[in-house]
Amino acid sequence: MIRARITVAISAAVAGVVVGTACSSSEAEPQGVPTPEASTPTPSSAQPTSDPTTAAPAEHEEPSIPAAAQAPGRAGAEAFVRYYIDLLNYAANTGDTTALRNVATNCGGCADYAQLYETTYEAGGWFHDPGWRPFGLLSRREGNHVTVVLQVNAPTVTYLKRHGGEPKRGQAEVYSLRFEVRRSGDQWIATRFAGQ
């Protein structure tokens, strides 16, 4: 998800997003987060149904923002990044990117992931993904924003790029990610999402 493949192959690489910010490829395999030089991978949070070749992901509930993720300061920024990853997991398994888009601005990597999920589900595809699990968060205030670096355990994901296609399986990996977040009124907004 994060190695040299860090370019959201949004339109067809519906199976992972490598952390970074960009999009280009078309038949990329899943990996990590988007950036400008590779294919994509993706986060998620659903268990595959009994027949992952034809079934859509089970119902998922949109995560609510915890109070800690609204607090100012570095601890609040870290809690917000955890919440953002919950939103990525939710969007991957449902195709619903409304909340994901609402908490980011001018963030290429963020937009790449949202577009990946939208494009995939619009084409009749899906992701069955147990979800990214963040750990090892570190943060540093830099001017008017906070930089948060962390790692995520990205388990094996099953995905379908488009209706009528062949389901595929991505590989489980650990990715290093970098977020920049800033305060906008009384909430945090993601302004950068990339691979380390």
> Do 6 and 111 form a contact (C-beta atoms < 8 A)?
no
Give 76-129 pLDDT, tens digit per residue.
999 999 999 999 999 999 999 999 999 999 999 999 999 999 999 999 999 998
pLDDT the model gives residue 60: 84
Is residue 154 within 8 Å of residue 43, measured between CB atoms? yes
Q: pLDDT tens for residues 173-188?
A: 999 999 999 999 999 9
How many CA atoms are closer than 13 Å to the CA of 42, on its beta-carbon side?
A: 45
Could you tell me the CA-to-CA distances from 61 to 87, 89, 90, 93, 96 in Å, in that order? 10, 11, 7, 10, 11
Residue 150 belongs to what H/E stretch? strand 145-154
The chain-wide mean pLDDT, for the chain, equals: 78
Q: Give the per-residue SS3 of 133-147.
A: EEEEEEEEEECCEEE
**For the chain, what are the domain ranges?**
67-195
User: Model confidence over 27-86: pLDDT tens digits?
Assistant: 333 344 433 333 334 454 333 333 333 344 446 899 999 999 999 999 999 999 999 999
Residue 154 phi/psi, 5° resolution? -110, 105
- HSE at residue 59, side-chain half, CA atoms within 13 A, is 1
Residue 73 gets which letter from DSSP? Answer: S
Give the CATH fold of the 67-195 domain: Nuclear Transport Factor 2; Chain: A, (3.10.450)
